[in-house]
Amino acid sequence: MQLSNDKETDNIEIGKEISQHLASNPQVLNDKKLIKEEVKRRLVSDIQTFALEYDLLFNEEKATLNKDCVLLSLLFRRMFFYKLNEKLSGLSCDHTLRLTKQILTQMQFKRGKINEIIDVFKKNGGQCDCEILYNVESQLIGK
């Protein structure tokens, strides 16, 4: 997409293009830069523009067995677990919720909501960053 000087008109055009595109053909992104942009958009503003390969991992039938399915599905869609995995890769977990708190803050949740989410993680076996991936994300994905 070419950027012109007339930014406002341009944004409108892009928006139209995207919604038409989504309606006719939900495309799975494979461009690294676009994937990065989509992840950031979902994290910060919960706006889903493109499909990601990661979306295909979600197992709705399995997820709905969890009492906290609504909240956990939202976090999945907004790429919380994806981001946690990315941040934790190459590090060893320090057995705290340091990265989790960082991401939830980046997602612009209020303090009370963050505490509520952390309680749900703990209830589901996620006492630290790595356990959230092993014990919580695993309840939403795969077979």
Binding residues for Zn ion (CB under 5 A): 93, 95, 128, 130
For 12, 47, 76, 97, the CA distances from 82, given in Å and listed in that order, are 30, 16, 8, 15
Helices (H) and strands (E) in the chain, counts: 8, 0
Work out the burial of residue 110: count CB atoms within 10 Å of its CB; fewer than 13 is exposed, 13-18 middle, 19 or more buried.
exposed
Q: Is 92 helix (H, G, I), strand (E, B) or coil?
A: coil
Residue 68 or residue 131: which is nearer to Zn ion going by CB?
A: 131
**Which residue lies nearer to Zn ion by CB, 43 or 128?**
128
Distance CA 102, CA 119 (A): 16
Query: Minimal distance in Å, beta carbon 136 to Zn ion?
Result: 12
Residue number with CB closer to Zn ion (72 or 99):
99
**What does the alpha-carbon distance between residue 130 and residue 111 come to, in Å, rounded to a whole number?**
22
Nearer to Zn ion, 70 or 91 (CB): 91
> Token digits for 14?
């892009």
CB of 97 to Zn ion, least distance (A): 9
